[in-house]
Amino acid sequence: MTALIPAGPVSWPDGKTCAVAFTFDVDAESPLLTTDPAFADRMGSMSHQAYGPLVGIPRLLGILDDLQVPATFFVPGYTAHRHPEPIRSLVTAGHEIAHHGYLHESLVGVDEATERAYLQRGMDALVEVTGVTPVGYRAPMWEMNWHTPKLLAEFGFLYDSTLMDSDHPYELAVTDGESLVELPVSWALDDWQQYCFVPDFSVGMIETPAKAIELYRSELDAMREVGGAWILTNHPFLSGRPGRAAALREFIADVAAMDDVWIASMAQIAEHVRAQQLTPRTLTRPEFTPTVRSIDR
């Protein structure tokens, strides 16, 4: 079994010691529809999800504009089809658009050909609606297959943002000598676990904005010591709500005032990492003999 090698440190521009990216997964209706098409019949749930592009995006754009902070929006193709104006407004405001599947399709157990079709469909939708070809990808549900990186390279992506095995970005080796920049995420830096409540879909606790921000802040303060990339993921249908957006605004303003932090789009971070010509890391599927159970009764 080939042992895994951890990612090494990376340097940041202008003497900064930590990179920060504010990212938004603009899921809207898609995660529900891909889980069960019958969710389309639920007018209430659909309205809850539509809040993201309809209300959350304009509000969040206002905050980002006020604070002059760049952000990256991972957009399922279907969101672009159903909500073209909000998605185009992201581009108009100068933010980055990245790929997040077409219908937020789970990739668990999906074969390569099917996954390629999802990628193509998502890509086509983003290009069609925004005219922009995304350079970044994040897998729906933050889960992908061992064949996914090869597919992403095939589509010409510069970076992926799905994996969770590092505080530092790295070059992820792909078959045939190619590589992708990997910008890792963390479940602790996701508003879903703090706020998401949708009956029959995802029913967690609803925390206060103060608690969510305290969680993000504790990780950021430590990441500034670590020197990695701190990548926050919010969902406009959740963090676009007034109280949460107000708390996020205050937090982003605090971060923007930190001298040691480089706030950038994911593409900017990926380009900066790419330029460092890091040796690609090879990740391998675990080899193991499954547990055999011989039960007493």
Q: Please, which of residues 11-50 interact with a second copy by CB under 8 A?
A: 29, 33-34, 37-38, 40-48, 50
User: Smaller CB distance to a second copy: residue 48 or 95?
Assistant: 48
What is the phi/psi pair of residue 124, to 5°? -60, -45
d(Cα 179, Cα 279) in Å, to the nearest integer? 9
Interaction between residue 148 and a second copy (CB under 8 A)? yes
Amino acid sitting at position 203: V
Binding mask 56-95 for a second copy (x = CB under 8 A): --x-------------------x--xxxxx----------
Q: How many residues does the chain have?
A: 297
Which of 25, 27, 96, 167 touches a second copy by CB under 8 A? 167
Which of 73, 195, 251, 262 touches a second copy by CB under 8 A? 195
d(Cα 35, Cα 201) in Å, to the nearest integer? 8
User: Smaller CB distance to a second copy: residue 31 or 134?
Assistant: 31
User: Smaller CB distance to a second copy: residue 47 or 275?
Assistant: 47
User: Helix 242-256 crosses helix 57-67 at what angle (to 10 degrees)?
Assistant: 20
Question: Minimum distance between the CB of residue 51 and a second copy, rounded to whole angstroms?
Answer: 5
User: Smaller CB distance to a second copy: residue 177 or 288?
Assistant: 288
Distances (CA, A) of 211 to 108, 197, 207: 31, 16, 6
Tell me, by CB under 8 A, how many residues bind a second copy.
103
| Tokens, residue 224 | 């500034």
What CA dihedral angle connects 171, 175, 177 and 182, to 10 degrees? -10
Interaction between residue 175 and a second copy (CB under 8 A)? no
Q: Name the residue with tokens 């993201």.
A: 52
Distances (CA, A) of 128 to 89, 115, 125, 195, 248: 14, 20, 5, 32, 31
User: Smaller CB distance to a second copy: residue 188 or 256?
Assistant: 188
Nearest to 270 by CA among 175, 179, 145: 179
d(Cα 84, Cα 99) in Å, to the nearest integer? 15
Question: Angle at Cα 44 formed by Cα 39 and Cα 48, nearest 5°?
Answer: 95
Q: Pairing relation of β-strands 18-25 and 71-75?
A: parallel
| Tokens, residue 56 | 């959350």
Interaction between residue 120 and a second copy (CB under 8 A)? no
DSSP structure class, residue 280:
P
Binding piece for a second copy, criterion CB under 8 A, among 63-71, 219-227, 260-268, 269-277? 219-227
d(Cα 59, Cα 54) in Å, to the nearest integer? 9
Which of 98, 103, 180, 264 touches a second copy by CB under 8 A? 103
Region of 24 (left: φ > 0; alpha: ψ -120 to 50; beta: rest) is beta
Binding piece for a second copy, criterion CB under 8 A, among 65-73, 91-99, 198-206, 255-263? 198-206
Which of 93, 186, 268, 271 touches a second copy by CB under 8 A? 186
User: Smaller CB distance to a second copy: residue 165 or 275?
Assistant: 165
Which of 14, 259, 277, 297 touches a second copy by CB under 8 A? 297
Which of 176, 259, 277, 295 touches a second copy by CB under 8 A? 295
Binding mask 274-293 for a second copy (x = CB under 8 A): ---------x-xx-x-xxxx
User: Smaller CB distance to a second copy: residue 59 or 275?
Assistant: 59
